Structure 1
């Protein structure tokens, strides 16, 4: 029965021969493999350039998507379908999609392109956007992926990122560490400030240029508030922050400088 089957005869209901279906499937599989190879070679070429990782990823994903569309059209053409009519049909579908309010897809694509081109952040940068903070682990054509310090993964649509303020904590090579501390009224301020400056200068990760500084930020209800300002390499920020918070308390305690807690004096009149 199988030997007598004519592969060139159209199948019932669909009007397409089995041989055309076989060739179409084979073409799609081969095309998919070739697209993978082309994108891999393209990515290796990009890796030799000075383009940022975020732009390399975006371009690679965009080329891969275009190649898959081309492969799909070739596979459809092997079925004997007029590719021109398919393209027109796809255009109509896209028009309907946009008309039904799903234009966010195109907006996300455009936003992803501008993010990759303008580079407000790169891979591995730590950013805050839309009230969310994390390290950029990936940027896709539709969304950007952030990893939080406690290892949660956040996906944010590109249009939400592009339309919102972005704080990049790691773009610059150095950052300033600000540590607030209060001293009691009656403290010799010049002495307290000099002790804090000497303490920061002795820290091995604090930079000498710009030099450390201490400023008075407020005459509060229970204390005179000082702010220690130390410049460090960006990668050392949290280490120095922790060291200064712990160290200034220990140094002031050792030198007899009081760090007061909030208090309220109540006077009763009889």
Structure 2
């Protein structure tokens, strides 16, 4: 729907009756999309909004659902007029008081992908001793708890075979074996990569050590790898739905530009 509605409309019977059937109400205003929070259902609408966010700024009308906070935080800032001062860029890498900036990057990526995340997390092993995990992420999938183990090696030297074997041994000590295990580092030796793949690790090579001046660049590399991983394992019908959603988003954007042009609205 074009334009931002008033509050009585959002709480009207029309909106409530359609949302009870699984519809989410979206309102287009120039280059942003506003979501009516009282019609949002996380399981049904999150993937669609994640795709739309790539093309539009995203805002929420009403209380922001907790699951939508990462998307709203990462939304592209709306274009501003020349007479206004430039808006401050959105900080996509949050700081979690981690020991290393690479851990902050990985936590930020997993949060953006909808996971609940813990950094420098201590888990009691099967032997009763503590195992510290750089990043531990979880998401409820139906009645299953989907878990990710991530080891961050923000080193000046490449990760070698011995490190991979040590990480694999640590995972075997855990009382709950994670569904996905990830090693993130600037560089790996070829033998370490082969060992990691053989042990079922996802290898993410950032190409440079994470530091304050390149956090967003490293974030994009980690996000791209993990996002492709999760999109690659979803059912074909869901991938087709995502592609349709991208097409619709592009069409909505074109329609918005045409409406603005017809109304004589300059960006």
Q: TM-score normalised to the size of structure 1?
A: 0.25
Q: TM-score normalised to the size of structure 2?
A: 0.26
Find the structure with the greater CA-based Rg.
1
Higher-RCO chain (CA-CA 8 Å, sequence separation at least 6): 2
